[in-house]
Structure 1
Amino acid sequence: METEEKNQLRKIIHIDMDAFYASVEQRDNEEYRGKPIVVGGPHEGRGGVVATASYEARKFGIRSAMPSKKALQLCPHAIFVRPRFAVYKEVSQQIREIFSRYTDLIEPLSLDEAYLDVTNDKLNIGSAIEIAKQIKQAIQDELRLTASAGVSINKFVAKIASDINKPNGLKFIGPSGIENFMELLPVEKFFGVGKVTAEKMKKMGLHTGADLKKLTEDEMHRHFGKAGRFYYQIVRGLDNREVQPHRETKSMGAEDTFAYDLTTLAEMNAELDKIAVTVANRLERYQLKGRTVTLKVKYSDFKQITRNQSSAAPIADLESITATAKQLLFTSFEEGQKVRLLGISLSNFGEVILRQKQDKQTGQLELF
């Protein structure tokens, strides 16, 4: 029975690129190597936000999502670089090609990280650890970048493991070591536990996985709602989520944070024109059409609103997206408002997903 159980265990690898955007910039620009690089919005004017920072910059306390002005205060000699998303996407595709040599069960989480199920790998290597080593080596040899890998029997543990020996790390947590590993893990490291929940847990005297294990499933649910039942499972190392290579796209969009507040409708409409082009291009790339257009507006005081409008037929053309977004903005605009961010997204792709299923049944190639 025990042997049969072991044979049913999945072999999951989580690959996470090291300081991805910054590493690509240092690879492509010799003058950036060994220096503190900050990729993100500019620090001039009101300032943008850090997308990522090189490890040289992280030594000064610079982190993702930090205001660029704060990053400059922490490291006055940091080099600020505008992101080149087209380049990062191209490199991401090259990384995906390396993954596909070993498995088709690849679930990308973003441009720089993904889950791989190698329970039955294409090359019959059999060892998830060996596959992770080969993938890391290929990324280094072919792309001159480094990646960290976590290897375990489920997605949650593999993701946590990949962060342990960064950068250029590899960590394996086998079935016999999971329970002890989870008990020592700080609560803020648990998947789905944000800042607010972590603070609530600590006020309850819950600081580690071992503390969480003392609560029954009903107690977890009472204190943390639906998520409590999930915490109850993962604190015991139980995660039955499959790697989903064809995960359904819920929405697609783009947004921009501006160096200075926008105060007139004309300024905002001009920015919506640019954002809509990005959205239309992404929809065309993935052959998607959506029924619902959503406008996102963030004001200078960080108050945020969303407005949406649905159409009878799915759309993807630039003219329709732009017109709908501008109409939504017009109906919510008030004189004197200062806007720091605008975004447009499309969702409600139901008809497209249905068509994909029909195509599959008739032998045609799926879009995803």
Structure 2
Amino acid sequence: MIKFKQKLIFHIDVNSAFLSWTATDKLRQGDNVDLRKIAAVIGGDEKSRRGVVLAKSMIAKKSGIVTGESLFTARKKCSNLKVVSPNFRLYEKCSSDMRAIFGEYTPFVENFSIDESFLDVTSYNTSKEAALKVAYDISDEIKKKLGFTVNIGISDVKLLAKMASDFEKPDKVHTLYKSEIEKKLWYLPVGELFMVGRRTVPRLNNLNIFTIGDLARYDVKFLAYHFKSSGRMMWEYANGIDNSEVRFHKRDLKGINNSITLSNDIKNKNEAYKVLLKLVEHTSTRLRHIKKCCYSISITIRNQEFIDYSKSTTLKSATDLTQEILKTVKKLFDELWKGEPIRLLGVSLNNLCDDNFKQISIFDVDNVYVEKKRAIDKTIDELRIRYGENAVIKSSLLKEK
């Protein structure tokens, strides 16, 4: 079977993390002033003369205040500056809450810092349209549930995803695929390139290297002569070359779930089935991507009065087949639905196990059938990864498409 290696990687960075997290916490406690909308910074103790700016609002930034400078000089630049002491316990909680949301989309999450993460979301598909939708879904969910904003960079390599997230801020989603570096990256000053420090910039300028494009087109051997191993690294980064993988901590994944709040209430079973099909396709694809099968399946319905009720079942044998999961989901829905308008539908696959099925016999008809269905599902997954989510569409959804 053909394996497609194209990646889809997000770099997610919280906008002015410490300030945003402090602001949202104070608003929840009843404060009327949003620190993000005034001249404000998060800093240490001014009285001890050790206070430095850890994070700043956009208004404070416009006054010339920079991260790392003393609070004493910051106040000289802005007389009405609001200073708030840091609360690292709060920041750890906000960071953890954000990563819990990431876990709803992919188990492949690398915690780069307290306010930055890389996500490998290749299992969705690598079409640009699908990537943008997933990114905006994550951004909107963070905003709605946690109250702060993030920047998301999308690329097929980690380095470029991180560079993309540093483009225009705040609350933006940017792409920087390898095919886009000449247009979006090369015109930038060379100091904007990741891992190019302030001391390196004058040395590069002395070689007539002023932009990232200048660096990308330079003789790599000459760069290695002047900068040793870092010379080749800078040249590779300028050309979008980065083979590093998203490093995630392996952990027992308890389940995969997906839900959708409907723009209009659903009032008939056939429309509900179409939504359930989409949810099952999404969750089963993710299940196969992480090489797991599920023993338990559950669905959730939310009615027009915002009341949730759920039903689950345990299978005799684990499965990752889309049609088998859909068959069970429809049965659960028929048993659970009371006929009232539906605002939300959710599907959850739980009690996971590895997909290392036993070697089957050619005389075992049922097992041969299962393996054929699994092969079809995996082929569909790969086609969607390569050509986009709409490369293969179930006939029941054609009218809607």
Q: Which residue of 1 aligns with 2:166?
A: 163
Letter of the aligned partner of 1:16 in structure 2?
D
Residue 58 of structure 1: SS of its match in structure 2?
helix
**Among 11, 17, 20, the residue aligned to 2:17:** 20
Q: TM-score normalised to the size of structure 1?
A: 0.62
**Among 78, 96, 110, the residue aligned to 1:75:** 78
Give the conservation status (yes or no) of the 8 Å contact 2:216–2:236: no
Letter of the aligned partner of 2:22 in structure 1?
E
Inter-partner Cα distance in structure 2 for 1:101 and 1:190: 32
Inter-partner Cα distance in structure 2 for 1:105 and 1:160: 20
Q: Which residue of 2 aligns with 1:293?
A: none
Inter-partner Cα distance in structure 2 for 1:83 and 1:164: 26
Shift of 1:125: 11
Inter-partner Cα distance in structure 1 for 2:25 and 2:18: 11
**Among 181, 188, 192, the residue aligned to 1:178:** 181
Shift of 1:31: 4.2
Is residue 87 of structure 2 the alignment partner of residue 84 of structure 1?
yes
Shift of 1:173: 2.2
Q: Which residue of 1 aligns with 2:367?
A: none
Give the conservation status (yes or no) of the 8 Å contact 1:119–1:126: no
Is residue 186 of structure 2 the alignment partner of residue 201 of structure 1?
no
Inter-partner Cα distance in structure 1 for 2:215 and 2:132: 30
Q: Which residue of 2 aligns with 1:111?
A: 114
Cα displacement string for residues 37-70 of structure 1 (whole angstroms, at most 9, x for unaligned residues): 2101133352411111122211212121111111
Give the conservation status (yes or no) of the 8 Å contact 1:125–1:131: no
Q: Which residue of 1 aligns with 2:6?
A: 9
Matches within 5 A, 1:1-368: 7-29=4-26, 30-33=31-34, 34-121=37-124, 127-246=130-249
Return 46-55 or 128-137, whichever deviates more: 46-55
Return 238-247 or 20-29, whichever deviates more: 238-247
Residue 205 of structure 2: SS of its match in structure 1?
helix
Shift of 1:93: 0.3
Letter of the aligned partner of 1:13 in structure 2?
F
Residue 186 of structure 2: SS of its match in structure 1?
helix
Inter-partner Cα distance in structure 2 for 1:199 and 1:42: 35
Shift of 1:135: 0.6
Inter-partner Cα distance in structure 2 for 1:210 and 1:125: 24
Inter-partner Cα distance in structure 2 for 1:229 and 1:105: 29
Letter of the aligned partner of 2:19 in structure 1?
A
Cα displacement string for residues 198-233 of structure 1 (whole angstroms, at most 9, x for unaligned residues): 121112221112211332221111111111111121
Inter-partner Cα distance in structure 2 for 1:214 and 1:16: 30
Letter of the aligned partner of 1:64 in structure 2?
T
Q: Which residue of 2 aligns with 1:359?
A: none
Give the conservation status (yes or no) of the 8 Å contact 1:95–1:139: yes
Residue segments in structure 2 that go unaligned for 5+ positions in a row:
251-401
Q: Which residue of 2 aligns with 1:254?
A: none
Inter-partner Cα distance in structure 2 for 1:155 and 1:71: 34
Aligned length: 242
Q: Which residue of 1 aligns with 2:363?
A: none
Give the conservation status (yes or no) of the 8 Å contact 2:18–2:91: yes
Inter-partner Cα distance in structure 2 for 1:239 and 1:206: 21
Inter-partner Cα distance in structure 1 for 2:124 and 2:247: 16
Inter-partner Cα distance in structure 2 for 1:246 and 1:219: 39
Q: TM-score normalised to the size of structure 2?
A: 0.57
Percent of matched pairs sharing the same residue: 32
Cα displacement string for residues 111-140 of structure 1 (whole angstroms, at most 9, x for unaligned residues): 111111111149x99922211111100000
Give the conservation status (yes or no) of the 8 Å contact 2:19–2:42: yes
Inter-partner Cα distance in structure 2 for 1:213 and 1:110: 28
Cα displacement string for residues 125-166 of structure 1 (whole angstroms, at most 9, x for unaligned residues): 992221111110000000011111111111111111112121
Inter-partner Cα distance in structure 2 for 1:225 and 1:26: 45
Residue 204 of structure 1: SS of its match in structure 2?
coil
Residue segments in structure 1 that go unaligned for 5+ positions in a row:
248-368
Cα displacement string for residues 254-297 of structure 1 (whole angstroms, at most 9, x for unaligned residues): xxxxxxxxxxxxxxxxxxxxxxxxxxxxxxxxxxxxxxxxxxxx
Inter-partner Cα distance in structure 1 for 2:151 and 2:163: 11
Residue 231 of structure 1: SS of its match in structure 2?
helix
